[in-house]
Amino acid sequence: MLYVYAILKSSHQLREDSTFYGLKDHLVEIIRHEAVAAAITRHGERSIPTTPPNVLAHERVVERFMADGPVLPARFGTCFPDDAALLATLALRGAELQALLKRVSGCVELGVRVLRHPKQEPPPAGAVATDQQDVSEAPGSGRCYMLARLHEERLREQRQQEGRKLAEELHGPLSAASRAATCRTQVNDELLLSGAYLVGTHDVEQFRAEVQTLAAQHPDLRVLCTGPWPPYHFVSIAASPEAQRV
């Protein structure tokens, strides 16, 4: 079984000693086909368990290659039964892979998460403010319960609308400061935005400065920036009939 870490240019050269090891201390090899290549290790077992050490080993190999040129990182667990199956995929998707490598050349991925404080507790059910008037009811009455639920639902909808609007406002400048972006907004009540941004290596500090500016403008929010990472969110190389996931 061939375990795939990343797709590279065939001309990819490491600055350091090219001998290093990946999962289970197996030697990392490069299999080339015309303009593209794959970084792999060979394994006798049919599956690689998803454990923290294995995931970290996978990431170390990807980042090792990323330091010396563009890479298309494979998802953890992407493998091929033999050389022939891998070479067939490289031949079939060569043009597509070259285009993706060109897209991410000179770029890294930065992640941004925006969180807000947990919502405040709703008012006591015995004194619920409605749109029409203030209504005081004996605690435990059916009408009091329904009014409390209605009030809580209205607060929840208002909070969600405000959250979506705020997330979109935050995403705009970040998207403009990147070459490509993907994000989810209003993920849950606390997580307003979870985004990935493809940023040129020479623009990383500028992007981080934009994140800091947004954080300063919204002191009530937590704005977290992580990376640089390999561009996992901007490539897809496992969708092949020859490939399998373990």
DSSP H or E run through 38: strand 36-42
- Looking at the DSSP bridge assignments, the partners of residue 21 are 27
- Looking at the DSSP bridge assignments, the partners of residue 29 are 40
pLDDT at position 119, please? 58
Of 62, 58, 68, the closest CA to residue 12 belongs to 68
pLDDT at position 138, please? 54
Mean pLDDT of 58-67: 92
Mean pLDDT of 202-221: 93
Contact 43, 3 (CB under 8 A): yes
Largest CA distance in the chain: 79
Contact 99, 30 (CB under 8 A): no
How far apart CA 73 and CA 77 sit, in angstroms, is: 12
Tokens encoding 145: 């319960």
- pTM of the shown model: 0.74
Grade residue 146 by pLDDT with cuts at 50, 70 and 90. Answer: confident
Contact 100, 70 (CB under 8 A): no
- Output the average pLDDT for the chain: 83
Tell me, what amino acid is at 212? Q
- List the CATH code of the domain at 108-229: 3.30.70
Q: What is the 3-state secondary structure (H, E, C) of 145-203?
A: HHHHHHHHHHHHHHHHHHHHHHHHHHHHHHHHCCCEEEEEECCCCCEEEEEEEEEEHHH
Tell me, what amino acid is at 181? A
238 compared with 105, residue with greater pLDDT: 105
Q: 142-176 vs 204-217: helix axis angle to the nearest 10? A: 150
Grade residue 212 by pLDDT with cuts at 50, 70 and 90. Answer: very high
How far apart CA 93 and CA 37 sit, in angstroms, is: 11
Tokens encoding 66: 């990323």
Evaluate if residue 129 carries a pLDDT over 90: no
pLDDT at position 7, please? 95
| Contact partners, residue 32, CB within 8 Å, separation at least 6 | 10
Residues of each domain in the chain carrying CATH 3.30.70: 108-229
What is the per-residue pLDDT across 13-52, written as a single tens digit (0 to 9) for each? 766 656 789 999 999 999 999 999 999 999 988 888 999 9
How far apart CA 85 and CA 243 sit, in angstroms, is: 8
